[in-house]
Amino acid sequence: MEEMTGGKVVVESLLANGVEVAFGIPGTHSLPIYQHLAASSIRHVTPRHEQGAGYAADGYARSSGRIAACLVTTGPGVTNIATAIGQAYSDSIPLLVVSPGMPAAIEGGDHGFLHEAKNQSLLTSAIAAWSHRASSQQDLADALRRAFAHLSGGRPRPVHIEAPIEVLAEQGPVDEIRPAEHAAPVSPAPDAVARAAQALASGRRRALVLGGGARGAAAEATALAELLSMAVVTTTNGKGVVSERHPLSLGATVMARSTRDHLADCDVVLAVGTELGDSDLWGEPLRVNGTVIRVDVDPQQLDKNLAAAVKVHGDAALSLRALADRLGGSAGTGVTAGAGVTAGAGVTAAGGSDGVGGAGRADVWQDASLALVAEQEVARVRAGVATDLAADVQPFGPLMASLEKVLAPDAVVAGDAAMACYFGVQYLLPFERPSRWLFPTGFCTLGYGLPAAIGAKLAAPDRQVMAIMGDGGVMFTIGELATAVQVGLSLPLVIVTNNGYGEIRKELAAMGVSPLGTDFPAPDFVALAGAFGAHGVRVEPDEVGSAVEEAFGRPGPTVVETAVG
């Protein structure tokens, strides 16, 4: 064993688990961490608010799959990051928050100690996966190792680790700091896979619904969709898991009326890695008249919001690959979009005892016209979706068309709870890969886009990364523009102005209520950019793409202001 302070335990644990970036604002009580952080290889980035730290770490994790740490001080540091913790919980994002805590002698005693909160761990445990208050340096090391194990497998929701001030500052015996042992991905039970395969084989009109839990299963989802000629629809968090340019893709339109009607009429609907909640559907629960199959790494999700006839508990990629293998294909069959599936894909006429692949259903895969029929039906539903959403998305058409021309296939776009995002990017900007669209779906919070883009750019400095926000939401975290300037990030921030909270204004009008609390003049964002040391430009919506393209080649951030509506 080695004698070390809790501050050193924190830093050594971060290093042992591969953390390269930490977001945080140092405070009096967290200095024992910073004492050792300064001598480490971890890059420290100072946001202008702890909420920005949480959103930046969230964007870092969503875009890269890696973990960035958040280091906050006691009291207000913890309460400031609380919204980011709640956002990460709702969208299943691996977020690690480490903070000091009150000394054991006064914890919960209401002594008026600096930054004293009534109960930090109780607060965070209500919004995170779990929170732990360490009782010793060894307990702190064990808790951090357990946190990294949780964040690296299964359903990764945020964790808060609290170390009392004396644990951080004083020395105590600690075993060797070791990296967390990561659990292997959950393999689906063979009998569940067999039942799911049989259900899929039993129908001809099938659909695949993909959520954020399927982001790591892009190849497997695409292969299965092509094998069975399945229409593919995603939630917001699943956007791009299957290329939205694929002829079987309906895009991220699960909340659109035509898509929902289509799903209701399907013989079989396979939902993977999604809870199909209100934040996904924007209203009434999904109705499916056919057989529902659910696949999820979290067993509690398998009946949530939509009852399943067949439940497959397992990792999305492993489960979809097992289904394809069972049905006579695999992720490596080489089936191409639009070509149909032929006997050459490995389908046999002699099925097993469950009938899957048997002669009675071989035509499901061997009929080359089935893919064409499915693609024609998808095209018909797409046309319906376009009609459904025309009034909402039309104002953002020129802006999105201009962006589509300049964004690379692997570009990352971080958004906000803004109309330009959920009506514009969501429907009009096609993504070909997962984890490109960073959107605060569950909490649907304002202020997310800019700090999330900062995190994503730090995770992948060679990729195009941009943020798009409304003039209302951007004011929640506009201070993070100073962070982007200080770090020197080539980062376009598109601000779409409509002088207020446009969606709430519209909803009040529908209720017959005059605008209240929704209207305010937008500041001069070009001048504000200059005050921060960034570049600023004001353009028409159809010129935004050109401005963003120039911003990608400019050192430091650029604010691109445009007015819609």
DSSP assigned state of 250: -
- Dist CA 127 CA 445 (whole Å): 15
Relative to beta strand 465-470, strand 535-538 is unpaired
2-174 against 190-367: fold identical: yes
Tell me yes or no: is domain 190-367 CATH 3.30.2290.10: no
* pLDDT category of residue 367 using cuts at 50, 70 and 90: low
Per cent of the chain over pLDDT 90 is 85
Relative to beta strand 412-414, strand 310-313 is unpaired
Assigned CATH for 2-174: 3.40.50.970
CA distances to 110, 220, 244, 270 from 320, rounded to whole Å, are 53, 6, 19, 10
In 3D space, the residue among 352, 307, 372, 373 whose CA is nearest the CA of residue 197 turns out to be 352
Q: What radius of gyration do the chain's Cα atoms show?
A: 25
Do the beta carbons of residue 479 and residue 55 sit within 8 Å? no
pLDDT above 80 (res 361) = no
pLDDT above 80 (res 252) = yes
Tokens 């926000």 — which residue? 469
Q: What's the pLDDT tens digit per position in 23-73?
A: 999 999 999 999 999 999 999 999 999 999 999 999 999 999 999 999 999
The angle that helices 480-487 and 449-459 make with each other, rounded to 10 degrees, is 20
* pLDDT category of residue 329 using cuts at 50, 70 and 90: low
Q: Where are the alpha helices (DSSP H) in 204-329?
A: 218-228, 257-265, 278-281, 316-326
User: The whole model's pTM is what?
Assistant: 0.92
Structure tokens given for 294: 């659910």
- 98 or 109, greater pLDDT: 98
- At 97 the pLDDT is 98
Do the beta carbons of residue 87 and residue 54 sit within 8 Å? yes
pLDDT above 90 (res 357) = no
Structure tokens given for 200: 């899929």
DSSP assigned state of 148: H
- The residue-averaged pLDDT of 490-503 equals 94
In 3D space, the residue among 7, 152, 141 whose CA is nearest the CA of residue 67 turns out to be 152
- Dist CA 105 CA 2 (whole Å): 25
DSSP secondary structure, 39-90, as one string: TSSPEEE--SSHHHHHHHHHHHHHHHS---EEE--STHHHHHHHHHHHHHHH
Q: Which helix (H) or strand (E) holds 249?
A: none
Q: What's the pLDDT tens digit per position in 144-171?
A: 999 999 999 899 999 999 999 999 999 9
Structure tokens given for 108: 């919960």
DSSP assigned state of 179: P
- At 206 the pLDDT is 96
Q: Average model confidence (pLDDT) for the chain?
A: 91
- At 333 the pLDDT is 33
Assigned CATH for 389-563: 3.40.50.970
- At 565 the pLDDT is 76
- At 457 the pLDDT is 98
DSSP reduced 3-state for 98? strand
- The residue-averaged pLDDT of 180-195 equals 95
Amino acid at 528: L
Among the residue ranges 64-73, 240-249, 291-300, 361-370, the one predicted with the least confidence is: 361-370
- At 355 the pLDDT is 37
- 111 or 350, greater pLDDT: 111
- Dist CA 109 CA 130 (whole Å): 23
Do the beta carbons of residue 247 and residue 230 sit within 8 Å? no
Domain borders along the chain are: 2-174, 190-367, 389-563
DSSP reduced 3-state for 132? strand
Handedness of CA 24, 30, 36, 38 (dihedral sign): positive
- At 368 the pLDDT is 58
Q: What's the pLDDT tens digit per position in 277-289?
A: 999 998 889 999 9
pLDDT above 60 (res 366) = no
- Dist CA 453 CA 56 (whole Å): 7
pLDDT above 80 (res 332) = no
Tokens 């959103």 — which residue? 55
pLDDT above 80 (res 350) = no
DSSP reduced 3-state for 442? coil
Nearest-5° Cα angle at 248, 333 to 424: 130
